[in-house]
Structure 1
Amino acid sequence: MKKNKYINQRALKDIIESNKSYKLYMMLGWQDILQRYRRSVLGPLWLTLSMGVMIGTMGLVFGNILNAPISEYFPFLAVGLILWTFISTVISEGCTVFISADSLIKQLPLPIFMHVLRMIWRNIAIFFHNMIIFLVILIFTPNIFITKSTFLFFPGFIILILNLLWISLILGILCTRYRDLPQIINSILQVLFYITPIVWLPNLMKGRASAYFLDLNPMFHLMDVVRSPLLGGASSLVSWQVVIAMAIIGWLLAILVFTRYRARIAYWL
């Protein structure tokens, strides 16, 4: 009993110390971005430029295919792609978050959870960098206004981050042990991209039996609590209930997994 209590305290202490080391993981996360685009002319702006080109191309093609008004479709597509890129990148990098920090984990006595926070922070910085594209699109779409619902973006984004943290922590531990899992997770993400309303509009599903699948898609709810406020609407109550329940249950599970396997991560690397 004493040993289990000690292990549990070490795991919780690791999470607390990781959050206190915010200056360190924020600095390391920003250095990751700069290192990726070292000696390039535009630097991190390449991320925004490539995202802008993709949104513009897909907007023209799928907007015509779906016969959707440009003023409605472009903001929807922009937020959807930027948000999906953020979520899918975090989940994908979460699979290798401890593997990529191999040398730091083995050589420095840093809190292990800090590497998850570093990865999340890096992608948050890129997300808000890409949101410049959405702001530019809003200039040319005057039908979207700032309302009271718009400010729900902030609690929606916070609950999204909380969910991505526990997902990344669990996947990071499992993928460190089982190295085939990252490929499986990436395959699942590709399927989720097509069944989640990112390129296609969710109102196209109204009146169809397949509309019920939206309520069963957790990725849709994670995106809805962030995307709908930005588009001037309000997220559904179901979406809020789902993401809050995911955060509570997910973190309870993550703490149990982290408590049990934290000490083994370094040996699996």
Structure 2
Amino acid sequence: MVLVVRGAADVLGGFGAWRMWWMLAKNDVVRRYRRSRVGQLWLTLSMAVLIFGMGAVYSSLFGTSMADYLPHLGTGLVLWGLISSTINESCSGFTENESIIRQIALPRFTYLLRTISRNLFVFAHNLIILPILYLVTGSPVNWHILLFIPGLLLVLANLAWVGYLLAILSARFRDIPQIVASIVQVAFFISPVVFKPSQLRVDHPVLILNPFASMLEVMREPLLGNLPSVTAYLILLGLLVFGWLFTLAFAGKYSHRVVYWL
């Protein structure tokens, strides 16, 4: 219990240092496209090309129309970009901030919030594509879209504990980022990003035992005008509770050692 309280104090302290991680996150995105004529619009353009390119190929492979398939694929790729990049970049959350950690005493969770915020900026740029995509394909939009916000918050809360845990482990074991990147790459192919969940039976292990499928469902279905399943919410809520309890205890014991591992 003491370790959980210690870990929770670090997390709360990280949120308290919001000026630091917000400024660093914005600077990360701006710096990436400095001196570019198009600037941050490259984020949106590259995602749009990927969506329409893959849509043209996979709609013919699955024998479905572009108008029916593109909203599913486009929404899935944009949401998967947020999930995968947050997990992968969280592994280097402490190592990329080594110089700051060695000089300034900030809560460790501050650096993870920098990573999450940076990926939210990128996600916001890519999100611009979806209204245009829905308009072009005639995809229905209804009040279910309001459920996207709580779904997004639920996913981010889960990504936060996963990222915090991976950041600590990656600081100690430098092979972790490569292992995580490989797992995320495999997860892309077994998660309903390219294919539709309706192509599998409802109780298929890919949909039940794969937490990425639940993350995609609670965010994508409201955007497509559908209601997510109760099962997806229960899976993510269960992961949220048990994941944070374990991570807080783990962080309470090991987060203060990060500076010695860098």
Q: When the two structures are superposed, what TM-score results if normalisation uses the length of structure 1?
A: 0.93
- Give the conservation status (yes or no) of the 8 Å contact 2:48–2:129: yes
Aligned residue number for residue 183 of structure 2: 188
Supply the AA of the counterpart residue of 2:241. I
> Is the Cα contact below 8 Å between 2:168 and 2:254 reproduced in 1?
yes
- Which residue number in structure 1 is paired with residue 104 of structure 2? 108
Partner of 2:69: 73
SS at match of 1:163: helix
Residue equivalent to 2:240: 247
CA–CA distance in structure 2, aligned partners of residues 106 and 153 of structure 1: 39
- Displacement after TM superposition at 1:124 (Å): 0.8
Query: Are the structure 2 counterparts of residues 140 and 8 from structure 1 closer, same or farther at C-alpha, using a change threshold of 3 Å?
Result: closer
State how 1:23-38 maps to structure 2 within 5 Å. 23-38=19-34
Aligned mates of 1:143, 1:186 — CA distance in 2: 33
Q: Which amino acid aligns with 1:95?
A: C
For residues 139 and 146 of structure 2, the distance between their equivalents in structure 1, rounded to whole angstroms, comes to 18
User: Can you give the 5+ residue segments of structure 1 that lack an aligned partner in the other structure?
Assistant: none
Superposed counterparts of 1:178-257, under 5 Å? 178-206=173-201, 211-257=204-250
Looking at structure 2, the residues matched to 205 and 68 of structure 1 have their Cα atoms a distance apart, in angstroms, of 16
Q: Which moved more, 1:137-146 or 1:84-93?
A: 137-146
Do residues 266 (structure 1) and 251 (structure 2) align? no
Secondary structure of the equivalent of 1:172? helix
SS at match of 2:95: coil
Contact 2:51 2:77 in 1 (8 A): yes
Q: Following TM superposition, by how much is the alpha carbon of 1:141 offset from its aligned partner in structure 2, in angstroms?
A: 2.3
Q: Which runs of 5+ in 2 are unaligned?
A: none
1:118 aligned residue: 114
Secondary structure (helix, strand or coil) at the match of 1:140 reads: helix
The CA deviation string for residues 175-232 of structure 1, in whole angstroms up to 9 with x for no partner, is 110101111111111111111111111111138xx83332111110011110110000
What is aligned with 1:12? Answer: 8
Q: Does 1:45 align with 2:45?
A: no
Q: Structure 1 residues 229, 174: CA separation in 2 closer, same or farther (over 3 Å shift)? A: same
Aligned alpha-carbon RMSD (Å): 1.6
Alignment of 1:129-148 (within 5 A): 129-147=125-143
User: Is residue 221–residue 227 contact of structure 2 (8 Å, CA) maintained in 1?
Assistant: yes
- Judged with a 3 Å threshold, the aligned counterparts in structure 2 of structure 1 residues 143 and 15 are, in CA distance, closer, same or farther, namely closer
Aligned-residue offset at 1:8: 5.9
Query: Could you say which residue in structure 2 is the equivalent of 1:86?
Result: 82
Relative contact order (C-alpha < 8 Å, sep 6+): which is higher?
2
3-state SS, counterpart of residue 223 of structure 1: helix
Name the aligned partner's letter for residue 214 of structure 1.
L
Instruction: Tell me the alpha carbon deviations over residues 67-124 of structure 1, each in whole angstroms, 9 at most, x when there is no partner.
Output: 1222221111011001111101000001111010100100112221100011101101
Secondary structure of the structure 1 residue equivalent to 2:128: helix
Secondary structure (helix, strand or coil) at the match of 2:108 reads coil
